[in-house]
Amino acid sequence: MFYLKVLEITSLYTILVLGVYLLTGLTGLFSLGQGGFVSIGAYTAAIAYLKFHVPFPLALVMAILMGMIVGLFIGIPTLRLRRDYFLLVTFGFGEMVRASLLYLAQLTGGAMGLAGIPKLVGLPLILVSIIVITFILYNLKNSRFGRNCIAIRDDELAAASMGINVYAHKIKVFLLSAAITSYGGALYAFVIMFIEPNLFNWLESAKLIIITFVGGMNSLSGVLVTSMVYYSFGEFFRFVDVWRDVLLALVVILVTIFRPGGLFGSWEIFSGNLLKKRKEEAL
């Protein structure tokens, strides 16, 4: 039972990491507001189910749509900004969501949180979700749209000069990232069975970015493996949980110095072309 719970939590966080990989790995945008989307998804699904008696599948859909709607309102005015300003805006957005959840106490439970959520999500649904999301992201990365996004990540000015609509691509990626993250938050609510405004703060959002960087911004496989290792380590060794962050910081320093492209570089497990990738990296 303990191992099953660890696998559930680790897999849930992996969904959130995939949402960040889409945003950071493809377009180079760094967001400290992913925790806001996690909370939006969790509270939307939980409130819809508990207080308005919406069927569970529809509650998940509502969480995704709410995340995308909020993402649209945030993305339209901010994605034209420089990346460092966008980072600051998303930080403010995450804190705004937390403050709103505290203020709307009659609906959200305020600082006391929202309890009594039934456990309707198990490991099979979470694993199927990871497989489906990974499939979508892998094909998106290798599509023309994905290649355009990678060009934007590497050099926005050069991408724009080649006729790529930088702003439109950023909007689409940001909305899809918000949808994935909100969906992960909704699943989280029905696994943990209790949510509160400090469920996912900006520091947790930063960890998602760091995991993406360590795994490799060019490698979806690297992000998946790094996420599973990091979060399972934290669950199995809770007595040294504080050292998990110290170890992560040490790994970041070492990766920055010796492997700036991430642990996996640009290698993908799914492609099956390990030798080819290694030759490309060597060149």
Nearest Cα neighbor of 24 from 153, 132, 131 is: 153
Q: pLDDT digit string (tens) for 63-75?
A: 999 999 999 999 8
Q: Is the pLDDT of residue 55 over 60?
A: yes
Q: Yes or no: say if 186 and 193 are a contact pair by the CB < 8 Å rule.
A: no
Write the burial class of residue 163 (CB in 10 Å: 0-12 exposed, 13-18 middle, 19+ buried): exposed
Give me the chain's average pLDDT, please: 84
Q: Is the pLDDT of residue 121 over 50?
A: yes
Model confidence at 156, pLDDT cuts 50, 70, 90, reads confident
SS3 195: strand
The C-alpha atoms of residue 199 and residue 204 are separated, in whole angstroms, by 9
Nearest Cα neighbor of 182 from 36, 86, 47, 67 is: 67
Q: Yes or no: say if 167 and 78 are a contact pair by the CB < 8 Å rule.
A: no
- Mean pLDDT computed over 108-114: 84
Q: Is the pLDDT of residue 249 over 70?
A: yes
Q: Rg of the Cα trace of the chain?
A: 19
The C-alpha atoms of residue 82 and residue 117 are separated, in whole angstroms, by 40
DSSP 144-182: HHHHHHHHHHH-HHHHHHTT--HHHHHHHHHHHHHHHHH
The C-alpha atoms of residue 24 and residue 139 are separated, in whole angstroms, by 17
Q: pLDDT digit string (tens) for 181-236?
A: 999 999 999 998 888 888 788 888 888 888 888 888 888 888 888 888 887 776 66
- Mean pLDDT computed over 147-168: 88
Greater pLDDT, 234 or 273: 234
User: How does DSSP classify residue 262?
Assistant: -
The C-alpha atoms of residue 171 and residue 1 are separated, in whole angstroms, by 41
pTM (2 d.p.) = 0.88
